[in-house]
Amino acid sequence: MCKTTGFQDCLHYVFDYETPKTLVIPSIRVGCVFRFTQLLVVLYVVGYVCVVQKAYQDTDSVISTVTTKVKGFAFTNTSDMGPHLWDVAEYVIPPQGDHSFFVLTNMVVTPEQTQSRCPELPNPSTTCVDDCDCIEGHSDPRGNGIQTGLCENYSTTVKTCEVLSWCPHEVDTKLPERALMSAAENFTVLIKNSITYPKFNIHRRNILPHINSSYLKRCEFNRTSDPDCPIFRLKHIVSEAGEDFQDMAVKGGILGILIDWSCDLDWWAKKCYPKYSFRRLDNKHPVNNVAPGYNFRFVKYYKKSDGEETRMLIKAYGIRFNVIAFGTAGKFGIVPTIVNLGAALSFLSLVPVVTDWFMLTCMKKRDFYSKQKVSYLTEDTESMPMGSTYGTQ
């Protein structure tokens, strides 16, 4: 278009400013409606979006590293182990002190297992009368090994098929009613947690700057008196999770130590402290409870003087503690701010629509107002003299 017409017109086309003709309505009531709706929008933006939701912030999620160190020892005196003192190296599995650590509280020990032949534990599918009932080489998935085809005396009363496996078999029915290591409730754990918000290059630790070493040596976490102490008594953790330690220790379970690192990094609110909470993560006793609690089997291998390999099988029941650091950091960001302001602005653009509607429907003088505001295009106005046709461009 600029090509066809002269350069002068082109300048006009670009730089002439087209502004709507407006009409001033000197009515307090209309004015009030106008200002009031405006106020509502502004209030929403400032009050809710900015203050409550902090929608002006960029966010980043946490990267965390955890080390844990358990302290304490327990003394047990059982028939198959005799008097025994348990220290950290024995009851914490694995020993590395990672973000997830297991504390042994109860166990079924099967001391002298060797690869050999022995009769199965008696149950409907393993009991037999004579060798004919046992198929050589057959292995029952619910059993303990490969059947040799023989039928042996399990006890004076019962005969069961002989199997090749680690013998003698574990009898995990004789799990102690009361947790062997009930003393575990007084163990303490030191949790060191360093986090990073890579986007903002922020690094924090759960050992806060104002805490000194001497305090750390004697303190113990307590929501009211010592909320910043990173040393926790196991009993305290479990009870805060709404469980009873002794009860949980028998069959084991999984306990979450949640550290909420939600941070507001803006200078006017430099809040970035860890908030601890505790929750049992496995299901306790709902209807559909398969393999309740938490346990696993591990072994210690030995070699007899004659070179034969023996092992001690331990079915370990205990509490696995998972330290889970989560949270998001928020910091003023230009893009979210613009986006939210923009969204708010477009609501401001609604205000005149509302006010016009009010003015042209609810006011007594609505007909008068509308006559002044709206002019109705009629064909006969066609006959008016032509003026500049500039507007068509």
Alpha carbons within 13 angstroms on the beta-carbon side of residue 202 total 22
Q: What is the DSSP letter of 46?
A: I
Q: Which two tokens stand for residue 350?
A: 């609604």
Subset of residues 40 to 79 that bind a second copy, contact rule: CB under 8 A: 44, 48-49, 53, 55, 61, 63, 65, 67, 69, 71-73, 75
Residue 359 near residue 30, CB atoms below 8 Å: yes
Which residues between 292 and 321 bind a second copy (CB under 8 A)?
294, 296-305, 310, 313, 320
Please report how close the Cβ of residue 119 comes to a second copy at its closest, in angstroms: 15
Contacts of 297 by beta carbon, 8 Å cutoff, 6+ apart: 170, 313, 314, 315, 316
Q: Which is nearer to a second copy, 130 or 387 (CB)?
A: 387
Strand-strand pairing, 57-61 and 328-332: antiparallel
**Contact range with a second copy by CB under 8 A, out of 124-132, 151-159, 236-244, 384-392:** 384-392
DSSP summary character for residue 378: -
Near a second copy by CB under 8 A, which window of 122-130, 171-179, 265-273, 359-367? 359-367
Q: Counting contacts by CB under 8 A, is residue 344 touching a second copy?
A: yes
* CB atoms near residue 162 (< 10 Å): 26
Question: Between 273 and 296, whose beta carbon lies closer to a second copy?
Answer: 296
- The stretch among 174-182, 242-250, 264-272, 371-379 that binds a second copy (CB under 8 A) is 371-379
Q: How far is the CB of 171 from a second copy (least distance, A)?
A: 15
Among positions 256-285, residues that touch a second copy (CB under 8 A) are: 256, 258, 260, 279, 281-283
Binder to a second copy among 39, 43, 46, 374 (CB under 8 A)? 374
200 binds a second copy (CB under 8 A): no
H/E run at residue 67: strand 63-71
Instruction: Tell the smallest beta-carbon distance from residue 74 to a second copy (Å).
Output: 9
Q: Is the Cβ of residue 128 or residue 230 nearer to a second copy in the bound state?
A: 230
Any residues with CB less than 8 A from the CB of 76 and at least 6 apart, and which?
83, 84, 86, 180, 181
156 vs 250, beta carbon nearer a second copy: 250
- What's the CA gap between 184 and 104, in Å, rounded? 8
Contacting residues for 205 by C-beta, under 8 A, at least 6 apart = 192, 193, 194, 195
Place of tokens 């030995």: 302
Structure tokens at 328: 């998001």
β-strand partners of 319: 103, 253
Q: By CB under 8 A, which span of 122-130, 172-180, 241-249, 348-356 interacts with a second copy?
A: 348-356
Q: Which of residues 138-157 bind a second copy (CB under 8 A)?
A: 139, 141, 144-146
Sole window of 29-37, 123-131, 174-182, 266-274 interacting with a second copy (rule: CB under 8 A): 29-37
CB closer to a second copy, 71 vs 223: 71
Residues 274, 258 contacting (CB under 8 angstroms): no
The binding site comprises 69-71, 188, 295-297, 315
**Cβ within 8 Å of residue 275, ≥6 positions away:** 259, 260, 262
Smallest separation, CB 381 to a second copy (Å): 7
Q: Which residues are annotated as a binding site for ATP?
A: 69-71, 188, 295-297, 315
Per the listing, tokens 């402290």 go with 273
Contacting a second copy (CB under 8 A), which of 4, 28, 225, 285? 28
Q: Which of residues 217-236 bind a second copy (CB under 8 A)?
A: 217
Of the candidates 139, 250, 133, 231, the one whose C-alpha atom is nearest the C-alpha of residue 186 is: 231
Nearer to a second copy, 164 or 175 (CB): 164
